[in-house]
Chains A and B, each alone.
Chain A
Amino acid sequence: MTGRRAVAGTVGIVLVSHSGPVAESVAALALGLAGGAQAPVAAAGGTPDGGLGTSAELIAEAARSVDGGAGVALLVDLGSAVLTVKAMVAEGDELPESARLVDAPFLEGAVAAVVTASTGADLTAVATAAGEAYGYRKE
Chain B
Amino acid sequence: MSETALDAAFFVRWMTAVAAAVDREADHLTELDSAIGDADHGSNLKRGFTAVRTALEKEPPATPGAVLVTAGKTLVSTVGGASGPLFGTLLRRTGKTLGDAERVGLGELRDGLRAGVDAVGQLGSSAPGDKTMLDALDPAVTALADGFAAAAEAAGAGSRATVPLQARKGRASYLGERSIGHEDPGAASSALLFAALAEVAR
A complexed with B: yes
Q: Which of A58-101 contact B (CB under 8 A)?
A: 79-80, 83-84, 86-88, 90-92, 94
Q: Is the interface of B mostly helix, strand, loop or mixed?
A: helix
* B35 in contact (CB, < 8 A): no
* A3 in contact (CB, < 8 A): no
Count of chain A residues near B, Cβ 8 A:
18
* B157 in contact (CB, < 8 A): no
The residue among B72, B77, B80, B93 with the most chain A CB atoms within 10 A of its own CB is: B80
The residues of A that contact B72 with a CB separation of less than 8 Å are 91
Residue in B81, B86, B89 whose beta carbon sits within 8 Å of that of A90 in the complex = B89
User: In the complex, A87 Cα to B85 Cα: how many Å?
Assistant: 6
Give the A-B pair count, Cβ closer than 8 A: 57
Q: Which of A15-54 contact B (CB under 8 A)?
A: 47, 51, 53-54
User: In the complex, A83 Cα to B124 Cα: how many Å?
Assistant: 7
* B73 in contact (CB, < 8 A): yes
With A53-B81, A79-B170 given, is the CB distance from A84 to B76 under 8 Å?
yes
**Contact present for B89 and A87 (CB under 8 Å):** yes
**Contact present for A80 and B81 (CB under 8 Å):** yes
The residues of A that contact B89 with a CB separation of less than 8 Å are 87, 90-91
Chain B, Cβ-Cβ closest to A78: B171
The residues of B that contact A83 with a CB separation of less than 8 Å are 82, 84-86, 123-124
* A56 in contact (CB, < 8 A): yes
The residues of A that contact B96 with a CB separation of less than 8 Å are 91
Q: Output the least CB separation between B153 and chain A (Å).
A: 29
The residues of A that contact B171 with a CB separation of less than 8 Å are 79
Residue in A51, A54, A86, A92 whose beta carbon sits within 8 Å of that of B123 in the complex = A86
* B185 in contact (CB, < 8 A): no
Chain A, Cβ-Cβ closest to B72: A91
* B182 in contact (CB, < 8 A): no
Q: Output the least CB separation between A47 and chain B (Å).
A: 5
User: In the complex, A79 Cα to B85 Cα: how many Å?
Assistant: 10
